[in-house]
Amino acid sequence: MNKYLIDGGRRISGEIRVQGAKNSALPILAASIMCTGSSVIENCPCLSDIDAARNIIDYLGCTTEVAGDVITIHTGGLSRSDIPTHLMREMRSSIVFLGAILARTGRARISYPGGCELGPRPIDLHIYGLRQLGAEIAEDHGYIDCTIPNGLKGAHINLSFPSVGATENVMIAATLAKGETSIANAAREPEIVDLANYLNACGAKIKGAGESTIFIEGVKELTGTHHAVIPDRIAAATFLSAAAVTGGEIWLNEIHPRHIGAVVPVLEQAGCKITLSHNSIHLLSCGRPKAMQTIRTMPYPGFPTDAQAPIMSVAAIADGTTIFVENIFENRFKHVTELIRLGAKVKLEGRVAVVEGTPRLYSASVECTDLRGGAALVVAALVAEGTTEISGVRHIDRGYEKMEDTLASLGAQIRRVE
């Protein structure tokens, strides 16, 4: 098992290019199996979750080729409609293959997905949406069996919560359904827009992505295309946090600042000076951070739940008290116990975390329990006195492309060891 050793107290400073968005690349890779011909997806980050998606695509009978950050998918050999348990358990986002397989082959059999344990993340909205499109779905012994005896048909679907995954699954399947589909209370995340842009380039007819209602007019077939994945807004927020916590300065290039519009004012409250351009962000930290106002995670365009953990590490050394209210995942505070090992002062009460800033954090041996919580531990270790040992970095590898190399290029003393 790999781990990080981080010598804290080094100022983060420098310029980096932001990686492609994991949460955008994964549904696009899943959707590619519906297309005839080949799709060339650029700006795909090198992550274990991307490898897991490629393993699923290859298992289905398609082939994938990788050259740097470009993945080419050839779908002519698709011959299966099932995903075995060991592949589904590699990542939570594997559920997004359900709509794509069903639309392409007329049936699908998958087990329940794996991924980070962040509390109940039911797939009932996925199943509800696909049933509205005409799918017959049976759940038995941990498997989901889907068929469409009468084909997929357009429908009006009203989601009870703006679930990103359910919006993606329904939108993907609806592109090949007969008639028009509307998704009310749809997720509005930038990754939804990126998926719609890819599908439209393949021949789909989707309008309203990024708004609360999405309209899809079904087409008979999709054709592969070239597409570049958007930059990763959560990776951007993480590296901004690293600079903020160390009193550093950072330039992020090839990023869409509007995608982290809810994060920027929070870091400004912490005392950072931030300058935005059309595709870059500059942050200058002016010493010890200040406490921030109450941070409530919300669906986009609200404050992202994925950025909550790294920002909490900034609050841990801030002057004053910051309150976090987690409204998306009930177990999103699993990193708190490990932050406390580093000297953070955090009190939990259900979905609320009260963080009393302390002038110093101290090194310790800590363990990643999930992707974003692992990122929070890295951010905290950058400012902690002494050498911090972080185990379980396989979780970090799911969402950050060679994080140790990126941070080292910015002046951090970090190394990966067995």
Q: Tens of pLDDT along 381-412?
A: 999 999 999 999 999 999 999 999 999 999 99
What's the confidence (pLDDT) of residue 91?
82
**Looking at the DSSP assignment, which residues form a beta bridge with residue 274?**
283
54 or 116: which carries more pLDDT confidence?
Answer: 54
Task: Dump pLDDT digits (tens) for 289-315.
Answer: 999 999 999 999 999 999 999 999 999
CATH class of 22-228: alpha beta
pLDDT of res. 114 = 55
Does this chain's domain 3-19+231-417 share its CATH topology with 22-228?
yes
Question: What Cα–Cα distance (Å) separates residue 153 from each residue in 30, 97, 215, 373?
Answer: 21, 19, 14, 41
Name residues whose C-beta falls within 8 Å of residue 95's C-beta, 6 or more positions apart in sequence: 110, 113, 123, 126, 165, 169
| Catalytic residue selected from 62, 116, 272, 368 | 116
Which residue positions form the known binding site for phosphoenolpyruvate? 22-23
Q: Give the pLDDT of residue 122.
A: 67
Mean of pLDDT over the chain = 95
Whether residue 33 contacts residue 242, with contact meaning beta carbons closer than 8 Å, is answered with no
Contact 364, 14 (CB under 8 A): no
Active site residue 202: no
pLDDT tens digits, residue range 146-172?
999 999 999 999 999 999 999 999 999
Residue 116 has pLDDT above 80, yes or no: no
Task: Please state, in angstroms and rounded to a whole number, the distance separating the CA atoms of residues 408 and 378.
Answer: 12
Has residue 340 got a pLDDT over 60?
Answer: yes
Which positions make up the binding site for UDP-N-acetyl-alpha-D-glucosamine? 92, 121-125, 306, 328
Span 134-150, mean pLDDT?
92
* Preceding peptide of 301 cis, ω within 30°: yes
Binding residue positions:
22-23, 92, 121-125, 306, 328
Contact 22, 399 (CB under 8 A): yes
CA distances from 120 to 139, 188, 325, 355, 402 (A): 17, 22, 17, 25, 29
CATH topology of domain 3-19+231-417: UDP-n-acetylglucosamine1-carboxyvinyl-transferase; Chain (3.65.10)
Helix or strand run (H / E) with residue 340: helix 336-341
Sketch the domain layout of the chain as residue ranges. 3-19+231-417, 22-228
The per-residue pLDDT for 139 is 84
Q: CA angle, 320 as apex, 319 and 326 as ends, to 5°?
A: 120
Average pLDDT over residues 281-293: 96
How far apart are the C-alpha atoms of 252 and 274, rounded to whole Å? 11
Lowest mean pLDDT among 89-93, 176-180, 277-281, 364-368: 89-93
